[in-house]
């Protein structure tokens, strides 16, 4: 894919959807039951399995493969850099997993299942390999297609990208790494007096 010309997502998607027509039938409707069954046969990611207040173990929302994909996607949205850790270090995928596992919004859940599948189709189409197996440049290239077309909210992969970015941002900037390491937030502590700017000190009555 060319770096200079913006991708026409609506035109391109016909190709990558067609290329995967054979697998479409099987996975277009990623039923939660299917996901749950799959997760039982494989070892679920340790963090994604948590116990709700009732003490009952709840099936994770993501399969281990999906979880790994979410980790890499979130890290591509907010990567580690020389300043601080990224989404992976901040365990954003755990936050997203919990959000979706507890969500009562079925259309949001299917946006995620469908979106993860479409992102991998895109990766196969553009680079001949899955997103997780791609280099970071290749990952950035795939998400750039979605980001550059992020107003096309009629497309499920675009809706997914916006959700991915929203939850990654939310999860990251409410994490320890996001608040303390990345933003170096100074508040939420006892303060004798707020230090303002060099305005002549306001007088009390």
Partner 1 sequence: MAESEIDLNKTYDAVVVGSGAAGGMAAHVLTSRGLQVLMLEAGKKLPIEQELRSMEWPYNNPHRGELPPDRHALTFNEYTIRNPPYGPGFEKSKHLHSYIGSSDYVKNIVVDERENPFTGTNYAWVRARCLGGKTNIWGRLALRLSDYDFKAKSRDGFGEDWPISYSDLAPYYDKVDLYLGITGVKENLPHLPDSIFQRPTRLNCAEVTLKQSLQKMGRVLTPYRAGVTTDGLKHNKYRSRCWGRGACERKGGCDIHAAFDSPTGLIYPAADTGNLTLRTNAVVREVTVDPQTGKASGVHFIDSQTMKDYTVRGKVVIVAASTLESARLLLLSKSRLYPNGLANSSGHVGHNFCEHIMGPGVTGQVQNLVGKPSTLDDGRPGGFYLTRFRNLTEKHPKFIRGYGFEGGSGARMFPQGTDAHGFGASFKEEVRQNQGSYIGMGAFGEVLARYENYVDLDPVVKDKWGIPALRFHYKFGDNEHRMAEDMKETAQEMFEAAGFKITHVSNRVLTEGWSIHELGTARMGNDPKTSVLNQFQQSHDVKNLFVVDGSAFVNASCQNPTWTIMALCWRSCDYLADEFGKGNL
Residue among 41 and 104 whose Cβ is closer to partner 1: 104
H-helix or E-strand spanning residue 113:
helix 106-127
- Taking the complex as a whole, the smallest distance from the CB of residue 152 to partner 1 amounts, in Å, to 14
Helix, strand or coil, per DSSP, at residue 8: coil
DSSP assigned state of 47: G
- Taking the complex as a whole, the smallest distance from the CB of residue 4 to partner 1 amounts, in Å, to 17
Q: Which residues bind partner 1 (CB under 8 A)?
A: 76-79, 81, 83, 86, 95, 102-105, 140, 143, 147, 150, 165, 169-171, 173-176, 179, 182-199, 201-205
Q: Between vectors from CA 169 to CA 150 and to CA 164, what angle results, nearest 5°? A: 45
- Taking the complex as a whole, the smallest distance from the CB of residue 38 to partner 1 amounts, in Å, to 23
Residue among 124 and 144 whose Cβ is closer to partner 1: 144
DSSP assigned state of 5: S
By the 8 A CB rule, do 114 and 160 touch?
A: yes
Residue among 22 and 205 whose Cβ is closer to partner 1: 205
Kindly report each contact of residues 151-157 with a partner whose C-beta sits within 8 Å and lies 24 or more positions away, as own/partner. Answer: 152/9, 152/10, 155/9, 155/10, 155/13, 156/111, 156/114, 156/115, 156/118, 157/9, 157/13, 157/115, 157/118, 157/119, 157/122
Rounded to whole angstroms, the Cα distance separating 188 from 60 reads 34
Residue among 44 and 86 whose Cβ is closer to partner 1: 86
- Taking the complex as a whole, the smallest distance from the CB of residue 183 to partner 1 amounts, in Å, to 6
- Taking the complex as a whole, the smallest distance from the CB of residue 77 to partner 1 amounts, in Å, to 5
Residue among 22 and 82 whose Cβ is closer to partner 1: 82
């Amino acid at each position: 894919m060319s770096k200079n010309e913006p991708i026409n997502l609506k035109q391109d998607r016909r190709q990558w959807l067609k290329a995967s027509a054979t697998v479409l039938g099987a996975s277009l409707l990623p039923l939660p039951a299917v996901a749950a069954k799959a997760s039982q046969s494989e070892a679920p990611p340790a963090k994604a399995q948590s116990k709700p207040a009732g003490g009952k173990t709840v099936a994770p929302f993501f399969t281990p493969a999906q979880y790994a994909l979410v980790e890499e996607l979130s890290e591509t949205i907010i990567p580690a850099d020389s300043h601080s850790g990224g989404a992976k270090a901040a365990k954003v995928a755990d936050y997203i997993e919990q959000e979706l596992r507890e969500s009562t919004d079925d259309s949001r859940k299917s946006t995620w299942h469908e979106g993860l599948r479409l992102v991998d189709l895109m990766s196969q189409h553009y680079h001949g390999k899955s997103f997780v197996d791609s280099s970071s440049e290749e990952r950035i290239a795939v998400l750039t297609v979605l980001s550059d077309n992020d107003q096309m909210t009629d497309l499920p992969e675009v809706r997914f990208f916006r959700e991915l970015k929203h939850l990654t941002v939310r999860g990251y900037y409410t994490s320890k790494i996001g608040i303390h390491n990345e933003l170096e937030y100074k508040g939420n502590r006892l303060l004798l007096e707020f230090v303002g700017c060099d305005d002549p000190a306001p007088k009390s009555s």
